[in-house]
A = this chain, B = another copy of it.
Amino acid sequence: MKINLKELAELLGGDLQGEGLAEMTGAAPASSAGPSEVCYLEDLSKKKLLDGTKAGCALLPRAAKEAELPYGGNRIYVDNPKWAFTILLRKIQLEKRPKAPWGIHPTAVVHTTARLGKYCHVGPFSVIEKDAVIGDFSFIGAQCYIGERVQVGANCHFYPQVMVREACVIGNQVILHPGVVIGADGFAYIFVNGRHEKIPQLGNVVIEDEVEIGAGTTVDRAMLEQTRIGAGTKIDNLVQIGHNVHIGRSCIIVAQAGIAGSSVLEDGVVLGGQVGLADHVRLGKGSMVAAQSGIMDDLPPGQVVFGSPARPRLEAMKILAIMGRLPEMYAFFKKMKAKFGDGQDK
């Protein structure tokens, strides 16, 4: 990539202060950026990060116009420096990432009844089963498995070694990372005559537009209806999503979280890493669960909780702080008990 600062300021809708003809070839954190690389400062409270940078240009918040900064180089003032930097990264990515080919690799096994859209790609050793549908411009990497009657929308990107079982439905612009398993059986048994008898899982998984799912994450198919992941939700690696779970729009689910069967996340819920949800709980719109917390009951909208079991954040923090005083409290308790007996002398 090559872009001069005048062009870059235009691309980012920013105000350039510096040499318009200076050419930039990359992006980097301030600490390691070189004279042809662009860095950014998210907000002025972190201005120390610019100290000593050799960056060729810094993307700065507009408020920086009046601020004193430990940096005298070229600068572009923008409304949202992190977003501006993201736009630059996307431009770099277009050239840096491997070019996605299109067409069906000769080694792929594609059933004659499968329907593939325009300019879509099926990589080596991938299997597309009977009656599957792949939308235009979608990319199915190497060694993927797309089951019978699966529907994949347009502009999806499935990395190698993704697995989608029969009858699941995937929207447009969905990204699935390696090792993702969509539509395996929900975990359901009934104990009869001394044995765990398997309950068939006849539903499917529906993934809406612009969902991204991280490496190794598993999303189980519903028993009868749908496990559903709402548009724009982003899921990290090694997450487990049980059968019949409904996840709303624009949720964030961090790595290794687990959601048991039939639970509901309303729109905009955030689950930290390693969070566990019991089955049949409902998390209200915009509620947030801190890492490693355990949720056994519904949460109202906007609630922020932590702990296992989770409590409202302030309460949990207070209790945690007091736990640090328990040794002192216990020592006092023993002395008071010696003094007052069991307290029953009243």
Residues of A at the B interface (CB closer than 8 Å) are 27-29, 32, 80, 82-83, 86, 89-90, 92-93, 96-98, 105, 107, 109, 123-125, 127, 129-130, 141-143, 145, 147-148, 159-161, 163, 165-166, 175, 177-179, 181, 184-185, 187, 189-190, 192, 194-200, 202, 210, 212, 214-216, 218, 220, 223-225, 232, 234, 236-238, 240, 242, 250, 252, 254-256, 258, 260, 273-274, 276, 278, 291-292, 294, 308-309, 311, 315, 318-320, 322-327, 329-330, 332-333, 335-340, 342-344, 346
Contacts and interface: CB of A to CB of B under 8 A. Distances in A.
Given A196-B250, A202-B92, A234-B196, A311 B294 contact: no
How many identical chains are in the complex? 3
7 contacts: A83-B197, A98-B148, A141-B145, A159-B184, A187-B236, A329-B330, A332-B337
A255 B237 contact: no
Contacts of A192: 80, 83
Contacts of A325: 330, 333
A127 to B, nearest CB: 5
Nearest to A294: B292
B166 A98 contact: yes
A197 B32 CA distance: 25
A238 B257 CA distance: 11
Contacts of A210: 195
B89 A189 contact: no
A200 to B, nearest CB: 4
Given A319-B323, A335-B343, A184 B189 contact: no
Contacts of A336: 332, 336, 340, 343
Give the top 8 A-B pairs by smallest Cβ distance, nearest first.
A335-B343, A89-B200, A184-B215, A181-B215, A93-B200, A145-B160, A240-B255, A215-B218
